[in-house]
Amino acid sequence: MKTARVLYNGAVHSAIAHEQGLLLADGRVLNELDVIWLPPVEVGTIFALGLNYADHSRELGFKPPNEPLVFMKGPNTLLGHDGQTPRPKGVKFMHYECELVVVIGQRAQRIPREQALQYVAGYTIANDYAVRDYLENFYRPNLRVKNRDACTPLGPWLSSVDEVNDPQNLALVTRVNGLVTQRGSTRDMVFSVAYLIEYLSSFMTLEPGDIILTGTPDGVVDCPVGSVVECEIEGLGTLRSCVVDDKF
């Protein structure tokens, strides 16, 4: 099942897809344009991966890492489907990063990878925008690159695990203003979903609602103000966002 969280008339509602829009838990059907989309889960800790696709590593002039390059993100970074991400004034290169997101479903401590997927509640999509101008080190992205307000749209749906036969065999496509600019597959990850759960849970406890952003393939391009960016992952839907001018 695919579920969403939306804001309508000042209240947060859970919803599922309906032929006329969105079906709320209370039975009301709403037009998608009448709601504000929220991240599809109440998010706990946010983990993100750098250079987790070999082709993207090569695109940036790096060798694939020998150990997961994990960094943390703050809750201020998240927004929902159809959200707006500000582009700082004067920057030369700001790009999308279409990523499969793993949502943890139960407490996980020292989980072997053979059992890791049993601890997943579902999957969603992130677009983890990055401002290349501010990047100091590809191996450890600094705060201005990965922790800007509203820099990470998430959604639109949480797809339950029964809808994803194999998280390591999903096609990814990104479109900017309708033009395909990125194609890839989760089979090209350096570190798989199961490995990442094993790795993280080996030294810290993962809790329900924690999410793992698993990296992006090659093919990132600059997104000027006005760009409408669509990140699509096979079976999960399409996450849409717009790049707007930073008002500050």
- In tens digits, the chain (248 residues) has pLDDT values of 999 999 999 999 999 999 999 999 999 999 999 999 999 999 999 999 988 997 666 666 667 678 999 999 999 999 999 999 999 999 999 999 999 999 999 999 999 999 999 999 999 999 999 998 988 766 666 788 899 999 999 999 999 999 999 999 999 999 999 999 999 999 999 999 999 999 999 999 999 999 999 999 999 999 999 999 999 999 999 999 999 999 86
39-245 shares the fold of 1-38:
no
- pLDDT confidence of residue 65: 76
Distance CA 31, CA 23 (A): 9
pTM attached to this predicted model = 0.95
Task: Let me know if domain 39-245 sits in CATH 3.30.465.10.
Answer: no
Architecture field, domain 1-38:
Roll (2.30)
Rg from Cα positions in the chain? 17
* Domain residue ranges of the chain, discontinuous segments joined by +: 1-38, 39-245
- pLDDT confidence of residue 142: 74
Instruction: Report residue 237 as tokens.
Output: 């839907």
